[in-house]
Amino acid sequence: MKFIQSTRAIFLALIFTLLSPLAIAGPGHDHGDTAPQASGSALPRFTATSEDLELVGILNGKLVTLYLDRFKDNSPVNDAQIEVEIAGSKYKAQKHGEGEYEFTLNDTLKTGVIAITATIQAGDLTDLLATELDLHTDESVPGLRSAWKTIAMWVGAGLLALLTLGVMVRFRQKTRRA
């Protein structure tokens, strides 16, 4: 009797452990297989700083928005002339708002690490800022979820088979002793 209770407890613990990772939303309850759309916080960014200035750039397709402020007090820099070199092409940024500048790229940037230099002239201050932008595609997300499920199911089936085999061997040993 004690053998059956301990075997049942082990079996139930194993079942609950193996089935819990499979409690993932299925069709109709998930967000579908479509790739997530880029939003404001997911857009590619780059930053460049010096002792005097801080430049943040956000890439939205071909539109690049730049935010320029003073490094010490984070106040926006207005009326600056910004010339940016990206992937061998030079662009002159136009003032768009307070501390905000924009320019449009000629072509869409290719994936990889892209060198960026910005020459900034604001009054008597002239600064050269350099940084890099790492553009990459995230193709691994949709396939990762289904591959993980498949692996978990095979591992669970293997463990269940081993548990069943162990219970059968113990049961045969008990019957031989009796």
pLDDT per residue as tens digits for the range 81-103: 999 999 889 999 999 889 999 99
Contact indicator for 132, 113 with CB cutoff of 8 Å:
yes
Among left, alpha and beta (phi > 0; psi -120 to 50; other), residue 94 is: beta
pLDDT score at 141: 45
119: which 2 tokens? Answer: 């020459």
pLDDT score at 1: 54
- Say which amino acid occupies 77: V
Supply the pTM of this predicted model: 0.55
42: number of CA atoms within 13 Å, CB side?
Answer: 8
Band of residue 80 on the pLDDT scale cut at 50, 70, 90: very high
Q: Treating both helix axes as pointing N-terminal to C-terminal, what angle do 140-177 and 2-19 enclose, rounded to 10 degrees?
A: 170
